[in-house]
Amino acid sequence: MNFPFEGLTSGSKFGTAVGIIMFMLVIGGAFGIVMRTGTVDNGILALIRHTRGNEVLFIPVLFVLFSLGAPYLAWAKKRSPLRLSLPR
């Protein structure tokens, strides 16, 4: 019954598979929470409202926000939900 923990700590070749599976479950849950709360979508919509009439500024503002956020707020891997919400 303790297979996930044993797989993560044993160091066997099956341990890496369990680690990847657990990682995917955690990431999937995090994406589910982010998408259900709609925080990324609401933030993008607010940015669109503020740049109305100046659509040329939308992409540069996103670049600046993520370039400032990456080193200081550890956003390097947190920008993935943005990729999921932009094509909609």
- pLDDT tier, 13 (very low <50, low <70, confident <90, very high otherwise): low
Domain that holds residue 45: 38-88
Q: Say yes or no: 81 and 53 in one domain.
A: yes
Please check whether residue 14 is in contact with residue 8, taking contact to mean a CB–CB distance below 8 angstroms. Answer: no
Identify whether residues 86 and 45 lie together within a single domain.
Answer: yes
Number of domains in the chain: 2
**74 — alpha (psi -120 to 50), left (phi > 0) or beta?**
left
The rounded distance, in Å, linking the Cα atoms of 21 and 10 is: 15
Give the percent of the chain with pLDDT over 70: 56
Q: Could you tell me if 50 and 72 lie in one domain?
A: yes
Question: What does the pLDDT look like over 32-53, one tens digit per residue?
Answer: 888 888 887 888 888 888 878 7
Does the pTM exceed 0.95?
Answer: no
Could you tell me if 5 and 23 lie in one domain?
yes
* Same domain flag for 79 and 56: yes
